[in-house]
């Protein structure tokens, strides 16, 4: 048993108040050991772990690195028990985990239980075995509908894929399979017990390799309403696409999301995690409709945490942020779970850009981050936000996100490539130290990133990187606090959060406000006797 395996005596488990840094594996660091391909890999991550330790995070969450044809950049898994050659080997994964633990960093891996790749052995077997076979019963194959003269020629229901277009694809023998995402991501049938058994084994496979936890993809989607009834759609007649955005559709009450049976899966996984030494955890990616339905995923015998996307979806205003904090804390108090907070990830527009871009967007993003970091619970950071990166306007010919490839602009959505551009580490031109070689990585980097590299920002007190380092170091010095003890006040543009040992002030307006007495622990921008617009500060004393 290592020190990491021993419960922290008298303290809450590590994940209840951790800062977790999300690594998008293709875009973090390319070691070049897999060839000069401009794609990040596991040895690249391992080589940069000291940077993350020095940044001051507690854990990393690594997006899927399993064998995959990469149609959704790893979220289409062909083999859950192996590493894609693009990223390395199982030995590289073991080295990564061991190196992280030596540096006192925990490792969370990404689990994709809702769907497999169409190259997964089970899906290939399902295609080969044909209608009515036990192999087909692991997925959601159905006969189609259609007029009397062409029976089966239309999909069995009207479900739309999150990436656009119908969520059904027909195979050669005439049946249709369900894919809530890309056509190459068939959904499993979680009502088949074989699926649950297989997944419990996958969990054990990675727990045996000493990972500390799992981020669970589409955790609210595994079960579909048994009838597979039609969904209520409001389509734009010009494009035949739903009028609502992907997020709005996902949040709406629909037969494919948030079914009650899914909670049995997480009770079973709770037992699996608890059977291992140490404080293993899981976190749900569950786009639920309300904080109350999110709280169900984190009942004491289910998952450790669930992502809370409510701040990420909120408008920029003191009142909106106050509602998010109080709404979240109240919902979770009922089940005794700790909150989570997140402002950016690999699926959404970076928060610098969401908050307006340019110097104002960056000021607001830093202020929101500093406020978030003072809240009870865990904060999830997305790679590159510590450098103040903005969403990149990736040229149409360079876009690779399947959600873009599915409709190519018909819905006005440009896809998610703009937040997935490889990280600039050093140097003055692409690939900015991301990997060896001279050329551009898998998504081209902008020409004006020289001042944003980690190297350029290191030692510059005004830089976003040094701000994150100060904020994370200050957070480590905070006394423990609970969601119940947090007080939230709004006075016009000023949001004040009072928690154990600290008052946090966030000025959401453009004009400066008086700075109350107290000692400044850390601020998101210069403060000198007053609290400038779009600035947050942590104060002690008084
Ligand atoms: C959510 C992941 O975050 C996203 O990147 C992926 O495309 C879908 N799930 C499908 O797995």
Closest C-alpha residue for ligand 1 atom 11: 75
- pLDDT tops 90 at residue 9: no
From the CB of 76, is ligand 1 less than 6 Å away? no
Q: What's the token pair of residue 93?
A: 């994964």
Residue 290: band (very low, low, confident or very high) from pLDDT cuts 50, 70, 90: confident
Contact 251, 289 (CB under 8 A): yes
* Short-list 167, 200, 172, CA closest to 182: 167
Residue 316: band (very low, low, confident or very high) from pLDDT cuts 50, 70, 90: very high
Contact 25, 42 (CB under 8 A): yes
From the CB of 216, is ligand 1 less than 6 Å away? no
Q: What's the token pair of residue 23?
A: 């690594």
Exposure on the CB side of residue 81, measured as CA atoms within 13 A: 10
Residue 238: band (very low, low, confident or very high) from pLDDT cuts 50, 70, 90: confident
R_g of the chain computed on alpha carbons:
23
pLDDT of residue 8: 52
Output the CA 376–ligand 1 centroid distance in Å.
27
Q: What's the token pair of residue 428?
A: 């003055």
What is the β-pairing status of strands 59-62 and 487-491?
Answer: unpaired
Contact 143, 176 (CB under 8 A): yes
Q: Where in the chain is the domain with CATH 3.90.400.10?
A: 115-187
- What SS3 state is found at 23? strand
CB-CB neighbours of 173 under 10 Å: 10
CATH: 2.40.100.20, 3.90.400.10, 3.75.10.10, 3.40.50.10320. Which one for 115-187?
Answer: 3.90.400.10
If you average pLDDT over residues 111-115, what whole number do you get?
98
Segment 120-173, tens digit of pLDDT:
999 999 999 999 999 999 999 999 999 999 999 999 999 989 888 899 999 999
Residues tagged active-site: 217, 285
From the CB of 217, is ligand 1 less than 6 Å away? yes
Mean pLDDT of the chain: 94
Q: Where in the chain is the domain with CATH 2.60.40.1180?
A: 484-540
431 cis-preceded (ω within 30 degrees of 0):
yes
From the CB of 17, is ligand 1 less than 6 Å away? no
b/e 161-171 (16+ beta carbons within 10 angstroms → b): bbbbbbbbbeb
Output the CA 217–ligand 1 centroid distance in Å.
6
Report the distance separating Cα 416 and Cα 533, nearest Å.
30
Sheet holding 176-178, edge to edge: 141-142, 176-178, 168-170
Segment 383-427, tens digit of pLDDT:
999 999 999 999 999 999 988 888 766 667 789 999 999 999 999
Output the CA 233–ligand 1 centroid distance in Å.
22
Segment 481-510, tens digit of pLDDT:
888 889 999 999 999 999 998 999 999 999
Domain 484-540 sits in CATH at 2.60.40.1180
């Amino acid at each position: 048993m290592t020190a990491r395996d021993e419960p922290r005596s008298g303290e809450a488990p590590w994940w209840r108040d951790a800062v977790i840094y999300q690594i998008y594996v293709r875009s973090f660091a390319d070691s070049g050991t897999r060839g000069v391909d401009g794609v990040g890999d596991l040895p690249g991550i391992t080589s940069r772990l000291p940077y993350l330790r020095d940044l001051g995070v507690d854990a990393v969450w690594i997006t899927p690195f399993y064998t995959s044809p990469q149609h959704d950049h790893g979220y289409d898994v062909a083999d859950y028990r192996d590493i894609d050659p693009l990223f390395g080997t199982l030995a590289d994964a073991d080295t990564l985990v061991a190196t992280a633990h030596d540096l006192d960093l925990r490792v969370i891996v990404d689990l994709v239980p809702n769907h497999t790749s169409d190259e997964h052995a089970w899906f290939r077997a399902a295609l080969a075995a044909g209608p009515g076979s036990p192999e087909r019963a692991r997925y959601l194959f159905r006969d189609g509908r259609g007029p009397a003269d062409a029976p089966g020629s239309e999909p069995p229901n009207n479900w739309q894929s999150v990436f656009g277009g119908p969520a059904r694809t027909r195979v050669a023998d005439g049946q249709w399979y369900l894919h809530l995402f890309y056509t190459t991501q068939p959904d499993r049938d979680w009502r088949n017990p074989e699926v649950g058994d297989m997944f419990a084994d996958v969990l054990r496979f990675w727990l045996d390799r000493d990972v500390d936890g799992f981020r669970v993809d589409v955790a609210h989607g595994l079960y579909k309403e048994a009838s597979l009834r039609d969904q209520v759609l409001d389509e734009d007649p010009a494009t035949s696409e739903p009028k609502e955005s992907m997020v709005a559709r996902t949040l709406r009450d629909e037969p494919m999301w948030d079914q009650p049976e899914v909670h049995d899966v997480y009770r079973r996984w709770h037992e699996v995690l608890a059977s291992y030494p140490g404080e293993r955890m899981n976190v749900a990616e569950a786009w639920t409709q309300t904080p109350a339905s999110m709280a169900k995923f984190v009942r004491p015998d289910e998952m450790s945490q669930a992502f809370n996307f409510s701040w990420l979806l909120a408008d920029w205003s003191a009142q909106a942020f106050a509602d998010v904090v109080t709404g979240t804390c109240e919902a979770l108090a009922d089940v005794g779970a700790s909150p989570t907070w997140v402002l950016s990830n690999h699926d959404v527009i970076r928060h610098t850009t969401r908050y307006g871009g340019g110097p104002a967007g960056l000021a607001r993003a830093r202020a929101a981050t500093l406020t978030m970091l003072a809240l009870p619970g865990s904060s999830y950071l997305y790679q590159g936000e510590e450098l103040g990166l903005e969403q990149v306007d990736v040229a149409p010919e360079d876009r690779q996100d399947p959600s873009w490839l599915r409709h190519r602009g018909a819905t006005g959505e440009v896809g998610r490539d703009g937040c997935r551009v490889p990280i600039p580490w050093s140097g003055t031109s692409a690939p900015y130290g991301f990997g060896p070689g001279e050329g551009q990585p898998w998504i081209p980097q902008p020409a004006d990133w020289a001042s944003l590299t980690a190297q350029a920002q290191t030692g510059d007190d005004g830089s976003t990187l040094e701000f994150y380092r100060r904020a994370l170091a200050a957070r480590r010095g905070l006394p423990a606090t609970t969601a119940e003890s947090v007080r939230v006040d709004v006075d016009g543009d000023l949001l004040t959060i009072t928690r154990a040992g600290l008052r946090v002030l966030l000025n959401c307006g453009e004009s400066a406000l008086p700075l109350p007495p107290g000692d400044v622990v850390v601020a998101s921008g210069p403060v000198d006797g007053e609290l400038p617009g779009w600035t947050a500060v942590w104060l002690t004393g008084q």
